Amino acid sequence: MSITALKVSQKSAAVVTGAGSGIGKSFAYEIARRGGQVICVDIDLKAAQNTATMLKELGTKAIAYQCDVGSESAMEKLSNEAEDLLERPITLLVNNAGVGAGGSIGEMSMKDWQWIMKVNLWGVIHGCHFFTPKLKGLGYGGIINVASAAAFAAAPEMGAYNVTKAGVLSLSETLAAELVGTGVNVTVLCPTMVPTNIIENSRISKEDKEMGARAMEKLAFTNSDKVARQTLSALDKGKLYMMPQIDAKIWWRVKRFAPAPYARGIGEVYKLFR
């Protein structure tokens, strides 16, 4: 069967960042389940190795690869080595690695701003920059960028996170436009809450972690495996936007159709809880 007769998510040669935990781990698993081979990239080598071991048990080739997505040189190196590691051209890139940090504007430290921008935004820029020419050259494949409903919801005390995700959304929209007709699909994932380790790993106070964990328990109506499956299917269908939950879909529409009332409303709700 020729490569282009396949759906992008099937039998792919994939690079998944942040594959050691949560949504990235689920992407890696689902790609392997669809017959793909995966380079499991993570800053945490042990976590990447655990995911690679799980994938190998499915009978596929999986390689653990330690890399900080925020490092330009490390990501360039990854892009140069990936094809040799899997012994075939990369057909699928999932720019998933991300971190959380909270705090209001003017209070959150510059150090935390720089950290989150580097991982969440520069990480995705690096992935797109170094892998897009290779995918274009192949004339086939896909890029999934993991943003968040935070890209458009502008929730208070999440300014830095919101900025990074709005950047990922805009980058994905631009990339999709540039790749029309090239055979390379782009999907941007914008979930609300998905139970993972993100809150535990975030730079927020102990109290905020506890509050976040409680909210996650009450408000997460999905799981990372389901989100990965839905997103890979969206990529196969050439869909740019993937809002996996009903609340994400509602916020997306309200924000687009009534942006000013939305902005006022979210500020009023925030005042009630301060």
Ligand X SMILES: NC(=O)c1ccc[n+]([C@@H]2O[C@H](COP(=O)([O-])OP(=O)(O)OC[C@H]3O[C@@H](n4cnc5c(N)ncnc54)[C@H](O)[C@@H]3O)[C@@H](O)[C@H]2O)c1
> Cα–Cα distance between 64 and 78 in angstroms, integer?
12
C-alpha distances (whole Å) from 22 to each of 92, 196, 271 are 19, 5, 32
Letter for the amino acid at 242?
Answer: M
Position among 86, 108, 146, 179 found at the interface with ligand X (CB under 6 A):
146
**Minimum CB distance to ligand X, residue 5 (Å):** 31
Number of residues this chain uses to bind ligand X (CB under 6 A): 28
Our finding on whether 234 is near ligand X (CB under 6 A) is no
User: Mask: binding to ligand X, 9-48, rule CB under 6 A, as x and -?
Assistant: --------xx-xxxxx-----------------xxx--x-
**Minimum CB distance to ligand X, residue 129 (Å):** 16
Our finding on whether 188 is near ligand X (CB under 6 A) is no
Our finding on whether 242 is near ligand X (CB under 6 A) is no
> Cα–Cα distance between 162 and 103 in angstroms, integer?
11
**Minimum CB distance to ligand X, residue 273 (Å):** 19
**Minimum CB distance to ligand X, residue 242 (Å):** 11
**Minimum CB distance to ligand X, residue 148 (Å):** 4
Position among 196, 230, 231, 245 found at the interface with ligand X (CB under 6 A):
196
Of residues 54-93, those binding ligand X (CB under 6 A)? 68-70
Our finding on whether 191 is near ligand X (CB under 6 A) is yes
C-alpha distances (whole Å) from 148 to each of 7, 31, 151, 166, 235 are 25, 21, 6, 8, 16
**Minimum CB distance to ligand X, residue 201 (Å):** 4
Residues that bind ligand X (CB under 6 A): 17-18, 20-24, 42-44, 47, 68-70, 96-99, 119, 146, 148, 191, 193-194, 196-198, 201
